[in-house]
Amino acid sequence: MADEALATGRPAAGHMTGTRELSRRRIGVPDIVFFVVAASSPLTVAAGGLPMSYATTGVLGVPVIYLILAVVLGTFSAGYAAMSRHISNAGAFYSYIAQGLGRVSGVGASFVALVAYNAMQVGLYGLFGFAASGLISSELGVDVPWWATSLVALVLIAFLGYRRIDLNAKVLAVLLVCESLTVLVFDISQVSSAPAGLSGEPFTWGALTTGAVGAGFCWVMASFMGFESGAIYSEECRDPRRTVSRATYIAVAVIGVFYAFTAWAMAMGTGVDKIIDAAGENGPDLVFVLGGRTLGPAFATLTQTFMVTALFAALLSFHNAVARYFFALGREGVLPKGLGLAHPRHGSPHLGSLTQTVIAALVVLGFGMSGGDPTNTLFNWFTNLGALGVILLLVVTSVSVLGFFRRRGRGENGWSRVVAPALSGAALAVVLVLAVVNFDALLGTPPDSVLNWLIPGLVLIAGVVGLAYGVWLRGSRPAVYAKIGHGADAAQDG
């Protein structure tokens, strides 16, 4: 059985009711990069994130913020990649923190991760439904409720989540190439036709220090969400010791440089002195307005179409991440053990995928039937909740890298073991504080709105509940507690 699994890259055929291992050796560096970059969604950032960054903060130096955060996250990736060379677990943050700071902390982190990634994935259904129904209405003249198009996407994503990981990677590759080329064509058209000429001012210190720079860092950080998800696929890649680290570095570089270039190109398309006002006046339509001016009216239709497919790709990427968290926690008995079964033929976390699908369906239907706003409420609230949770996990993971290598002292250099995680942890802690302080700017709410502390409070509550549950497991279920954070090896021992 073991030889068959090794040769085919999938669980042995005899495990007809499921296996505790995901399919092996299915994906490589490019595949993981597709998953990671698709989660951040270049076209969604260009159409939504960049105009909002300029408009709500008044910071001209948005391009340089992308480069600064790329350096910070690249530094974080040094310690993160070092951990990936010693730990291969679909639970990623959960496993890293459990082995670096202790099992109770790991369970607390797992609850934050489940809330954060589910919130990101479910929130995207609001924007997807809004964009898809708008496209159908404008092109076909048929009015379709946003939640109906979201449910169609949900069914397709459920099907793909049930299937092999390499099929998902192929779908993401096609969708990501289409949206990335669209953004690149837009960028080139803006640079080529810059009405006021080209300028390097958006990359200067003076541009960085104008406006609400703290809120600017928060908006830009949201564009990187998903960069850390490469480790989630470590059990399914061909060479975990190298694939995850390479994919993470590549993803951070691609996101940082590409989005900085797009932000700069957008400023060139309006003129440096007009980008703030143009973003405030046009909002997400700025890409369509500028692109229509330089590329013609057909560009708007093409971009709207690829906007829908880009959001689908982001939904699929986050769905796969959530399904694997459910799988990792079920396999070790932290959650019901049924979640820890992989499909006997596809090697997919099919029950974790089904669980995420049910959660998303209930939220989408709830918002749809109650007349909830798919963008300002479902998308805005949920994705900002998710982003805040991920930033918190990045900070804690930096500390866990220090703890892991302090106790084990395994062959990594001092930069990866100590310096990089310490520097990135401090920098990311500043970003976390800025995110909490400027949460009203992210939500678009008044400074005294209850949402400004209620939504961040949900992240804290998730962590506290997880910590309490971890303490309970330690005292009441010691066999389960002993396996926490140790993945397939612990499951086989049990």
Q: Would 82 be classed as within a structural domain? A: yes
Q: Would 247 be classed as within a structural domain? A: yes
Q: Would 83 be classed as within a structural domain? A: yes
How many helices (H) and strands (E) the chain has is answered by 23, 0
Segment 283-315, tens digit of pLDDT = 888 998 999 899 988 888 888 899 999 999 999
What pLDDT is attached to residue 488?
58
What pLDDT is attached to residue 7?
37
What pLDDT is attached to residue 5?
41
Cα separations in angstroms, 451 against 96, 114, 442, 464: 31, 21, 11, 20
> Is the per-residue pLDDT at 1 higher than 60?
no
Q: What is the pTM of this model?
A: 0.88
> Is the per-residue pLDDT at 230 higher than 90?
no
Mean pLDDT, residues 129-153 taken together: 93
Q: Fill in the amino acid letter for 420.
A: A
DSSP H or E run through 163: none
Q: Would 20 be classed as within a structural domain? A: no
What pLDDT is attached to residue 433?
93
Q: Would 13 be classed as within a structural domain? A: no
> Is the per-residue pLDDT at 175 higher than 50?
yes
> Is the per-residue pLDDT at 469 higher than 70?
yes
Mean pLDDT, residues 185-197 taken together: 94
Mean pLDDT of the chain: 87
Segment 104-123, tens digit of pLDDT = 999 999 999 999 999 999 99
CA angle 337, 339, 345 (to 5 degrees): 115
Mean pLDDT, residues 409-424 taken together: 87
If phi > 0 it is left, if psi is from -120 to 50 it is alpha, else beta; for residue 409 that is left
HSE-up (13 A, CA, CB side) for residue 175? 31
Which residues span the domain enclosing 471? 25-493
| Separation between Cα atoms, residue 162 and residue 151, nearest integer Å | 16
Domain of 214: which CATH number?
1.20.1740.10
Q: Which residues contact 284 (CB under 8 A, 6 or more apart)?
A: 47, 48, 51, 52
Please answer whether residues 225 and 39 qualify as being in contact, where contact means their C-beta atoms are separated by less than 8 angstroms.
yes
Q: Would 401 be classed as within a structural domain? A: yes
Segment 337-393, tens digit of pLDDT = 989 888 888 778 889 999 999 999 999 999 999 998 898 889 989 988 999 999 999
- Decide which of 79 and 23 is more confident: 79
What pLDDT is attached to residue 93?
87
DSSP H or E run through 109: helix 103-140
Question: DSSP character for 375?
Answer: I
User: Which residue has tokens 């391009």?
Assistant: 63
What pLDDT is attached to residue 11?
42
Q: How many domains does the structure of the chain reveal?
A: 1
Q: Would 19 be classed as within a structural domain? A: no
Q: Which residues contact 460 (CB under 8 A, 6 or more apart)?
A: none
What pLDDT is attached to residue 460?
95
Give the helix, strand, coil percentages of the chain, each rounded to 5: 80, 0, 20
CA angle 388, 235, 225 (to 5 degrees): 20
Helical residues (DSSP H) of 236-297, grouped into ranges: 240-270, 275-282, 286-295
Q: Dihedral angle at the C-alpha atoms of 7, 8, 14, 17, nearest 10 degrees?
A: 140
Q: Would 423 be classed as within a structural domain? A: yes
